[in-house]
Amino acid sequence: MGDRDWRPFVYGGLASCIAEFGTFPIDLTKTRLQIQGQVLDKKHAVLKYDGMIDCMVKVAKQEGFRALYNGIWPAVLRQATYGTIKFGTYYSLKDIIFDYNKNYEPFMVSLVCAVIAGAVSSAIANPTDVLKVRMQVQSASRNVNLVECFKEVYTQEGISGLWRGVTPTAQRAAVIAAVELPVYDFCKSHLLSFFGDNVANHFLSSVTASLGSAVASTPIDVVRTRLMNQKKFKKNLKTETHIYRGTVDCFYHTFKYEGFWAFYKGFVPTWFRMGPWNIIFFITYEQLKQLY
């Protein structure tokens, strides 16, 4: 450890930002698919997009190609904080625990470290996530930038608006990290004898980790996205109304009016994004480790 402690933080942040740029349009389609149909009455449900490809084509055609990158800057800012803290904390915690006692079970240590790293980092970076979601769902006719979006949220909803959906965000991040990081490390270590510590190993390990984390995290991600996109609507300047009152209420109403599979809206773009995202991230991360 010692003078090497800073490296997982820097490598994690850089690799996260690079992966975000490469996969962001897929993330935008995921967000738009997750929020459509969220009403308390099935009769008024409006489904604008019929899947990931249809969403991507319609956004590019109706709003312009640049619209596929709506929200990219808060997303990169999020990765610069979330990715840096998450991966740096994960690998640093593992080193500390193993240095202290080498008799711990490797997978369980990875699991605990991943949950802590994912929950803490996502809670800290939550405001950037809120801004990203708000900018991703805005139409071409209302194209506000990062600073304008921040001012709007802060002015209309206060500081609490920037932490909207923080509970499911932290839960989602903990679930993703608990599946993704230990599974990647597990696969990588068991594939060393076949491929060695090279790109082929990193590729297969990241694909396996992506599928598991997508299946486990999508239901929480749907709830998180809907809560983050939800604004405070005022009636008669006195009464504040919301579509959902909180995480449990969102789970309940989504299931009641849209059914179980509503929790897997956006699953295809989620997996299609997680796969390339993790491939780009882990290969970049491993190359940075070998470079320095």
Half-sphere exposure for 217 (CA within 13 Å, toward CB):
29
Average pLDDT in the chain: 84
Residues 29-41: tens digit of each pLDDT = 998 988 887 665 4
pTM, two decimal places: 0.74
The CATH number given to 2-291 is 1.50.40.10
Domain boundaries, the chain: 2-291
pLDDT of residue 127: 93
Angle at the Cα of 71 from the Cα atoms of 128 and 270, rounded to 5 degrees: 90
CB 51 within 8 A of CB 269: no
How does pLDDT run across 41-80, given as a tens digit for each residue?
A: 455 455 688 888 999 999 999 989 989 999 999 999 998 9
